[in-house]
Every structure is written in structure tokens, then in C-alpha cells.
Structure 1
């Protein structure tokens, strides 16, 4: 039986599937330990590429019905991770649309998340923060990981909401940004090359916009036992993540352990023991009272 705790974790992501790729193991682990895990997704990912041939008609340049389908995928992924509290920012009254990749004409639509008023969007998140009172918040860095406008805006909204909620009665103790250390990506690329495969066609970790300097990593969640749940959740996002694509190629060629570690940069609060051999914090709730 899952034992409930008074620990509460909030994650803020841009589109369905971002949460599983970045934080699937973290979410499954803490949920299984009784932590109340809340996921807030800012858009429904209407502009995503559709990888399933039979569903190509859902794309934004055809029937434009991908958003509702990705809501279903997100639900199915959350079932796999054991998460019951997942919401869309502003729901049910407000809905922001996927902005597309940076520089795309969709960026200029009035209804996209990139064009949203920062304080209006942040105040929607403040409502959730004041309701659940999370001690820990996870979101993206100021670059949104790789420069997608919705990721950048999700970062800005999350950080602004944390600032505003502190003036309204709730101070979030620890804030983390997702990160991926360059050395880990380079090791994966090297091993993939050795078996005649690749990862997004990258020759070097420097080719990947989400590769970050190792010294930026302050914390790591390691939970090998929850990797199967993460992979099952990735499969649930079928329109976005192909079982024949680079993510599952990593699993097939390098083993499941490649997904066991999820890395973070602590930007508010203090890192606390226990630490790994590299001095990285191993529990994102460490030191939280």
C-alpha cells in the first residue's frame, strides 16, 4: 500500500510528452513513495509532428485535431507513471495553443502560449500553487532546454508564479531546472556509434542544444526500478515518440539504465545530503521541512 506523505511536487511543462522524457522516473519514484505529484502542462501540443502514419490527418495543417488526441496520450502516460493529478494551465476556462518551433509563423497567432500575457498565465499557475502548496518545483531553464518558445515561456511562467505565490502566502522551498550533462550525452553518442547507430544524427554532444556543462548539474534522481514505467509512458505518447526512434534505440543498444538517471540544476534552496560520488544531491526533497 502506498503511504501518503506531506511532500508535494509540482512540475510545469510545455507539451504532453515533455514530462515523461525529462522527469518520468522522478515522477514515478516520488508518486510511489507517497508524494503528491502535480503536473501542469501549458499547451496540448497541437503543432507537434505526427509520427503514426494512420494518424497523420490529425496534424495542424490537415484536420487540426492533434491536441485532443495528445490529451488522451497524456492521460495514458500518467496512468503508467502512477500520477492522478495532472492539469492543463488555465483549464477549464482558458486554453493556450502550441506555438510551434521558434521562427514558425504560428508564433504570431494571438492564441498561442508564446503570445500569452506573462502575469495572466502566471496567475493561473499561482492558483494551483496556493491550492497544493508544493515544497519543490521542477521546470525548464531560461533557454527552455533547447529554445522552443513554449518551453521558454513555461520557464518564465513557472518562475514568475513562484515569485507571485511567495507574496500570497506560499514560499516554494526548492526550485529545479531540468538539465542533461554533456558528458552523459557524449557517452551515449559514443556507445551508439560503436553499434552502428546514432542519436538524432549527432556526431558530438555539442551538436545537441540541450547538452549542458556538467558543472551545472547539482542533483540527480536515480531510480532504476522505475525505468519500465517511464518507457511505458513514452510509448503512450505514440504520435510523438516512435518505438523505432532515437529514444528507444538508446534503450535497445545501451540498456534500460540509460533512463535511470534524471539530472537537475537547483536554482533556489540548498542542496542537502545524501550525495553521490560526484557531490550531487540524490533526493530533491532533502532538507525540506
Structure 2
């Protein structure tokens, strides 16, 4: 039976990094995939100046990414990009309509209207940390949680990354590679989610090509600044290694028991059966 999944993200390119494989998989299975984005990312780091020109470029990239993933509908909520100040936090020069300053109830009602219109079966947001802590990502968590409650959306998943292997890999890399001074490996000790709370490990290796093309659509985010952008580095990873590194997408569903291990967004844990004589204490 075809179902509807709504993916809620903060900026264009967030969908490519965290959920593109899952989106492509669900679309290929015949499900309806809807992408809702809070801002146009007009204050992101890029060679284009901040403002309308960057917003137009990133919106066009978003639609190209969505088309390649099989997304049926794209909704832009139209909030301003709050930006990320050096060292984290929100910059003081953010626009008047910055997403981080939006009333959570008002924004949630707008998202809930989409969920109701689509009769959504599933909504993805971010984890409480907002992944790596971007203020707009934290706001996605707050707004999405409330919207799912308003609309009665039955499945709420937090898109995340398994912090444990990520942190181990960064600590190992630090022994052989000198990171830029502003890059603090310790900041990842509270980023994303620990493996023990992750409920869904979705194998998306079959959709690695679609995920890579989704990343590549965001050309403005592959350049800008004095050092290599994360997206550009990811796109240089050879195909087989790319499938290994980016072939799993992780989610947390808070209403499931600890230790749940599922492989598909619409999977439900097996119902606990009656205790038999062999199982009794």
C-alpha cells in the first residue's frame, strides 16, 4: 500500500546530506514523497553574495535535487535563513523573518496544514541537538514535533547520524591529519545521536547514485570560503567507498522501546507475544 512521507528540512542541501537515500527508496517503492524546507538558505557560505541571488540559486538547486530523488511535491515555508555565527549560535545580522525567531506554534500550524493536506503517514525532522547544532536545525525539531502532534501524524522520525563511529573516525583522523583551528572534534561529543537510541538503520546503498546526484545538484554549496567545503569533499569520494560511507541513513523514533532495530521507515517492531513455558522465568 502506497503511503505518504513528508521530509522537513531547514535549508536546501540538508535533504541531500541526511535523507536523500531514504527519499529515493520510498519514491522508487511507489510511496508519495513530499519535501518541506523552512528557508532558502540565503545566508549559507557560498561564492554568491548573501541575499536574493543566493536564495534563487539554492532554490533552483533544491528543485533539481528533488526531481532526481522522485519527490512529488516541494514546499518552501519562506522563512529567512538564520545563519550560523562563527563558533556556533545565531548571528546578530539575521533577517527580521529568521526561522529561529518564528513563533513555534505559528510555524507548526503551517507545517501541520501540509501534513493534513497530504494525509501524511510519516514526518522526518532532526534530533534535539539539531544534528551539529545549527539554530535552524534545532528549530526544525521544535516545529516538527509540534506539527506532528497537531496533525496527528502517526510516525515521527528524527533524521540523524550515528555519533559513535563518527566520533571514533574523527579521533583517529586527528592522529594523521591536522584539522583547521576552528574545527573542534570535541564538539561532536554532543552532536547527532548515540547508537543506543537509534531505532532505524536504513540501507540505501542501492540508491547511492541518486543520493550522490542530489548532493551534486547543490553546486553553490561545493564552493565558498578559503577551505574545501564538506559537500565538495564528499563528492570526491570514489564510488565503492561512497556507497560504504553514505549507504546507511539513521533515524530515531522516540515512541518505540529502547533497543529497537528497524530497517525501513514504515517498519513496526514485532508485537510481543504471550509468555510461554519456555520463556517464563
Which TM-score band applies after superposition, normalised by the shorter structure? 0.7 to 0.9
Secondary structure of 1:127's counterpart equals helix
Q: Are residue 177 (structure 1) and residue 165 (structure 2) matched? A: no
Matched residue of 1:239: which SS? helix
Query: Which whole-Å deviations, capped at 9, do the CAs of 1:138-191 have from their partners, x for residues lacking one?
Result: 1012221122111111111111111222xxxxx222111122112331454478
Pairing 1:109-148 to 2, within 5 Å after superposition: 109-148=95-134
Gaps of 5+ in 1: 51-55, 90-94, 166-170, 272-277
Question: Does 2:45 align with 1:59?
Answer: no
Note the C-alpha offset of 1:96: 1.2
Tell me, yes or no, if the aligned pair for 1:227 and 1:257 is still in contact at 8 Å. no
Q: Distance in 2 between matches of 1:211 and 1:155?
A: 12
- Which residue in the other structure is 2:193 paired with? 212
1:201-234: CA deviation from partner (whole Å, max 9, x where unpaired): 8999644253432112111110211001101110
Q: Counterpart in 2 of 1:17?
A: 13
The count of corresponding residues between Structure 1 and Structure 2 is 258
> How much does 1:268 deviate?
3.3
Gaps of 5+ in 2: 223-228, 270-281
Task: Return 172-181 or 240-249, whichever deviates more.
Answer: 240-249
Query: Aligned in 2, Cα 1:68/1:204: closer, same or farther, shift over 3 Å?
Result: closer
Q: Please, what TM-score do these two structures have when normalized by structure 1?
A: 0.79
- Identify the match of residue 263 of structure 1 among 241, 245, 250: 250
| Aligned residue in 2 for 1:80 | 68
Q: Quote the RMSD (CA, aligned, Å).
A: 2.9
Instruction: Give the 3 Å change call, closer, same or farther, for CA 244–23 of structure 1 in structure 2.
Output: closer
The answer (yes or no) to whether the contact 1:191–1:254 under 8 Å persists in 2 is no
> Using a 3 Å threshold, how does the CA distance of structure 1 residues 249 and 279 change in structure 2: closer, same or farther?
farther
Within-5 A mapping of 1:268-283: 268=255, 280-283=261-264
Q: 1:100 aligns with which of 83, 98, 104?
A: 83
